[in-house]
């Protein structure tokens, strides 16, 4: 097997292919929103994919210079978000960028669903950015706009890194098959190819490490994570 998902939430590997492409698209969206946010003194809330894992949102938020990053792994508080936005306005920065994963949710509340599930169709997440945007407008009085990037994150030409990574994964998977190693998944550990059992890879879905470098970097830069 090969680890393929834009969410980067497969265990047993440092990175899945598809993640870097989605990350680039999300980062470009944040870059573009900066222009209109600053020009019109608006709070821009961007909803990104990530049901249970916030890798896209966290990394794109860091790369794009978001002021608030909301991920499923950290229950957020509206007062913390509004404090950050007000703090920026008081300092003369009358605009803010919020990157929110679709699976992010307020402290003590459930995830927001655009469609309830039934015996035929699965529930579909969506709408957290509208909830956040409405609350910010009510609490701060600032003009707020919401953007849902949606399936743009999942299509188009893959990034150079994803092409390179998928090629390496494919070659490694062929080698495993030729050696008769079944029930295995190829993975990237640091810069080297490795393989792990599918059982190990699927046992525990990967989540953002709240004590890891990315979260510590965000906090060190003064980015609000909502907690």
- Nearest in space to 47 (alpha carbons), one of 75, 66, 73: 66
pLDDT of residue 127: 83
71 within some domain: yes
Q: What is the distance between the alpha carbons of residues 124 and 106, in angstroms, rounded to a whole number?
A: 18
Q: What average pLDDT is seen over the chain?
A: 92
188 within some domain: no
Chain position carrying tokens 């009085």: 141
26 within some domain: yes
Is 90 noted as a catalytic residue in this protein?
Answer: no
* The two structure tokens encoding residue 214: 């990315």
Residues in the chain: 227
CATH code at position 36:
3.40.50.460
Active-site residue (options: 7, 20, 52, 162): 7
Domain count, the chain: 1
Range(s) of the domain holding residue 89: 19-157+207-220
Is the confidence at residue 163, as pLDDT, over 90? yes
| pTM (global) more than 0.95 | no
How large is the average pLDDT for residues 33-57? 95
93-134 pLDDT, tens digit each = 999 999 999 999 999 877 877 655 554 455 667 689 999 999
How large is the average pLDDT for residues 136-162? 93
75 within some domain: yes
63 within some domain: yes
227 within some domain: no
CA atoms within 13 A on the CB side of 89: 18
């Amino acid at each position: 097997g090969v680890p393929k998902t834009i969410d980067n939430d497969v265990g047993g590997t440092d990175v899945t292919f598809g993640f870097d492409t989605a990350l680039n698209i999300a980062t470009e969206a944040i870059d573009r929103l900066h222009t209109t946010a600053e020009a019109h003194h608006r709070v821009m809330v961007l909803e990104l994919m990530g049901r249970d894992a916030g890798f896209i949102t966290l990394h794109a938020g860091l790369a794009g210079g978001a002021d608030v990053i909301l991920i499923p792994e950290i229950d957020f508080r509206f007062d913390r978000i509004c404090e950050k936005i007000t703090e920026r306005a008081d300092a003369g920065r009358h605009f803010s960028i919020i990157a929110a994963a679709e699976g992010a949710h307020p402290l003590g509340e459930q995830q927001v669903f655009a469609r309830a599930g039934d015996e035929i169709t699965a529930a579909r997440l969506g709408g957290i950015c509208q909830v956040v945007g409405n609350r910010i407008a009510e609490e701060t009085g600032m003009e707020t706009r919401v953007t849902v990037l949606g399936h743009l994150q999942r299509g188009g030409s893959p990034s150079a890194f994803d092409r390179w990574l998928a090629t390496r994964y494919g070659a490694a998977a062929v080698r495993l098959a030729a050696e008769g190693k079944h029930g295995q998944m190829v993975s990237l550990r640091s810069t080297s190819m490795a393989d792990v059992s599918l059982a190990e890879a699927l046992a525990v879905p990967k989540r953002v490490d709240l004590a890891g470098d990315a979260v510590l970097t965000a906090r060190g830069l003064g980015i609000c994570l909502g907690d």
